[in-house]
Structure formats: C-alpha cells, structure tokens
Amino acid sequence: MNYDELFPKITSHAKEYGFVFPSSEIYDGLGAVYDYAQLGVELKNNIKTAWWKAMVQMHENIVGLDAAILMHPTTWKASGHVDAFSDPLIDNKDSKKRYRADVLIEDQIAKYESKSLKDTNKRAKKEGWEAGSEEYNKYLQGNRNAKKAQELHQQFEVALNSDDLDQLRNIIVEQGIACEVSGSKNWSEVRQFNLMFKTQLGATADSSMDLYLRPETAQGIFVNYLNVQKTSRQKLPFGIAQIGKAFRNEIVARQFIFRMREFEQMEMQFFIKPGTQKQWFEYWKEYRMNWHKALGIKEEFLQWHEHEKLAHYADGAEDIQFKFPFGFKELEGIHSRTDFDLSSHEEFSGKKLRYFDPETQESYVPYVVETSVGLDRTFLAHMSHAYQEEEVPNAKGGTDTRVVMKFHPLLAPYKAAVFPLVKKDGLPEIAMEIFKELKFEHNVMYDEKDSVGRRYRRHDAIGTPFCITVDHDTKEDNAVTVRDRDTLEQVRMPISEVRSYISKKLSWRDLLDW
C-alpha cells in the first residue's frame, strides 16, 4: 500500500472502529464538523495529557489556564482579527460555488509539481537514473512543469504579500483554472471574507451585543496575562498554556479533520524580555519538534516550513509540517508575536499590561513567543502514522493480513485487553480479577467475545499494545500470556508481575526525558 493511498482508508477506519464520526450524521452531517467517538476521545485525551505534561509539568515557569470561549468583543478588534483575519474568496458565477482564491492557485502549483514528478520518474526509468541521484534531481528541478510551478509560485507570493486581490484573480484566469462543479472559468472578483463566527449575547434585540466565537485560544491568555503573572508570582521568562476549542468559518472544508470549523488548539504563550525573542524562538522550535518525535513520529514525516506571509502580529514564524497522506502540511506554528497583542490590549482597554523587571528596575510590555499546535491535526497525524497493513502468521501455518494501529503505547486508547481463552471453566473470573487490578492505573478492556485470534485482530486494529490471555494452565501456574502488538512476541509471566510489566512500558519519564 502506498502512503498516498492511505487517506480514504484512515477515514473509513476512523468511522468503522469508533474514532471519529461526522457530526449530526442522522441529518446528513454538518460540513467540516466532527464528533470524537469512544476510541477517539481516549486518543485525544492522551495527546492532551502528553502536551500538558511536556509543557506545564516539565517547566517550573509555565502554568495553565482555561479561559472562556466567549470574550469581550473588543478583544477581537484589539487582536486585529476583526480587520485582518480573512481569506480571499472567489465565486464561480455559473455554479455559485465559492472557493478560496489562494487554495485554487496552490492546487494549480501542486498539479504542476505532480506532473513534474511523473515526468521525472518516466525519464529516470528510461535513462536508468536512481531516485535522488544528481541527474534525477537536476531533471526534477529543471523540467517544463517544474519551471511552471516555480514561476507560478513566485507570482503568487508577490500577490499574496502585497494583498493584491486583483492579481490573485488574474492568476486564476491566466492559468485557465476551472470550477470543479460547472467546469466554467467564469469567475467573480476576489473579496476578503472574515473567518470569525458571530453570535449574540443577551435575549432582546436592543440589549444584545455581537460576540465572536474565538478563532484562536491565544487571546484568552493575553487578556489574563497580568492576573496570572501576579497571582502565580512568576518572573519573566514564563509561560501560560491552554488547551481549548477554537472556531473558524473555513470556506474550503475538506481533508476530514485536517481543516475543521470547530477544532481544538494547544497553545502556549511564553512572555519574555524584548530583545530575547530570537533565542526563545529557537528554543521552542527545538523543544516542540522533539515533542513530536518523542511521541513516535519518524523524522522523515516532519519538516520545517518558513512562512511566506507573516500574520499581522508576527516578526517570525515557522511551521512544523507533517507528511499527511495528501502531502506535507502544517501541524504546528511557532510564532514570534513581539509585543503586538499586549500593547494592543493596553491601548484598547486603557489598562497597563506591563512587567516590572526587578533586575533592571524597568517596566515594559513583554514580548511573546507562541507555540500553537492543532489537537485534531495531531490526532490525524498519529492516525496516519500508526496505520499499517501487515502479513502475519496464522494458526493454520499460512498468513493473514492485519490492520494494526501502531500508536505510541501512551497514546493508545486502551493500554491492554484481558481475555479469558474460553467463557467457562473459571477463566472469565480470573481475567476479570486482572482487569480490576489494572484499571486503577490504565484504561483496560475486558474482552471475551469470539476466538482469541479474532480478538487479537480487533485490538490490533484499535492499537491496543498488550493483550493478556488467561488459559487453562493459568489455573495451575497462576501465569498468563502477554502478547506485544508490534513484535507479536508472547511472554508468559506470573499474574503478580503483569501490573508492573505494563506500567514499565508506559513510562511518562521515558517519553518526556529527552
């Protein structure tokens, strides 16, 4: 199976086993809104725990926060989101379908790149070049389609950086990009469309107030900066971390949980002395990349991407991209946000948001380096990375194909499953005792349905790292068989050792001590 063929398999696996369901599915769903099901919520909670431990528990100078989703509307004026948080949209006049102009152009670049790769592979086959060899790379970068991609990329970058909406439209027209529904090239002007969801506070029309659902969790941290700093008695540098929902009225809703309208972010704002932002930017870049690797993501699935166009608040920004089945895409952003947010909140609120530095006896607005990772994208990254189809030996001496989710054991929804070999002869009672012993520390499942082979397959498919089987010998030797999901190795051990065996394999210290 090729990795780029994986995406439909992941989406159906997520639904079939109870990781993710479309929201309100009995009403045919709601675009780009999803519910996390019984296994999904466990995986999601484990990712949150891994993040919280790495960010808050591992740093004596980072504390947590859980701010409300609804905030005073001036927050969004001050943050710049009312004026600048928008996407350039274009309508096809025949189908009335609305597109993001930048995405249409990015897709066109991707088309040229894909053609360029195909041409290169064809030529390499003919010439006998190895993939990655000097000749191969030269051709890959220099062929007709590669040049088209580069030229278009340059043109696009200029239009984007100068907010030139007319030029974005010109590019779409010149490239002959057609609507996927009508096939027509009859395009409207490009307009900016604000991504924030509006709602109202208060019951009556006269007294109501327009509010927004927060498009990022960060502003809840900025407006609480001084409260937290004073009550936690933290000195600079220090950070505030938060996990919570954010909402964006995304126009291009696709790629499953990659781009959602309601999603969760795990963000940390690190407040620092002005002038030290470069050093802290580098520190957090390295730390965050290490976190993804510690959770088992292989190095070749991760890369850095520097922003072409900086957000209105940033003086530096780089993304950690993950190799999703549909290509390398943003997973996390590390942003140097200067003093933009705090200064702006000072101005709009009229309240001082400064730090008195006891060493220099100066008072100043701190600078901020932010780490911002999408929880749902991290979830999708782990689903994509973990999914494997493998040939494994079966009881008849042949092989079976198994689907196995090779999650890091600390992320797996269930840490262990306990099976009685048969549903009689006192075996279920012993298995239930083991389940009761383990459940205080770990999320464990008791499972007695079907043959053991089928139970193994079921737990492979949901990523349970250990399966513990109670058989007839257990009654004699007080021992069980523990099977490892990845190596398929089966170890016989006394029941009294199972708890410490599992706990050793699930060590937060091993994960966090990099």
Question: Which residues form the interface with ligand GAP (CB under 6 A)?
Answer: 216, 218, 248, 250, 259-260, 263, 265, 267, 330-333, 370, 372-374, 376-377
Q: Provide the residue count of the chain.
A: 514
For the chain, count helices (H), then strands (E).
18, 23
Q: Kindly state the helix (H) or strand (E) to which residue 318 belongs, with its residue range.
A: strand 316-324
* Residue 192: CB minimum distance to ligand GAP, A: 16
Give whichever of 253 and 495 is closer to ligand GAP, judged by the CB atom.
253
Nearest-CB residue to ligand GAP?
Answer: 374
Q: Tell me how far, at minimum, the Cβ of 102 lies from ligand GAP, in Å.
A: 14
> Do 317 and 333 form a contact (C-beta atoms < 8 A)?
yes
Q: Least CB distance from residue 9 to ligand GAP, whole Å?
A: 21
Answer yes or no: are the C-beta atoms of 494 and 430 closer than 8 Å. no
Q: Which is nearer to ligand GAP, 109 or 331 (CB)?
A: 331
Pick 261 or 415: Cβ nearer ligand GAP: 261
Rounded to whole angstroms, how far apart are CA atoms 365 and 339?
6
Distance CA 473, CA 422 (A): 12
Which two tokens mark 103?
Answer: 């995405």
* Alpha-carbon gap, residue 337 to 347, rounded angstroms: 17
156: closest CA among 112, 97, 98, 215?
A: 112
314 vs 479, beta carbon nearer ligand GAP = 314
Question: Shortest gap between Cβ of 330 and ligand GAP (angstroms)?
Answer: 5
Rank residues 175 and 371 by Cβ distance to ligand GAP and give the closer one.
371
* CB closer to ligand GAP, 226 vs 253: 253
By C-beta, is 225 or 435 nearer to ligand GAP?
225
Could you tell me the smallest distance in angstroms from the CB atom of residue 181 to ligand GAP? 22
Q: Please state the closest distance from residue 311 (CB atom) to ligand GAP, in A.
A: 7
Q: How far is the CB of 432 from ligand GAP (least distance, A)?
A: 41
Question: Closest approach of Cβ 33 to ligand GAP, in Å?
Answer: 10
Strands 98-100 and 479-484, sheet pairing = unpaired
Q: How far is CA 293 from CA 138, 284, 287, 382, 406, in A?
A: 31, 14, 10, 11, 14
500 exposure class (CB count in 10 Å sphere: 0-12, 13-18, 19+): exposed
The angle at the Cα of 277, spanning 272 to 278, to the nearest 5 degrees, equals 150
Cα angle 497, 503, 504 (rounded to 5 degrees) comes to 90
274 burial via Cβ count (<10 Å: 0-12, 13-18, 19+): exposed
Nearer residue to ligand GAP within complex by CB, 14 or 498: 14
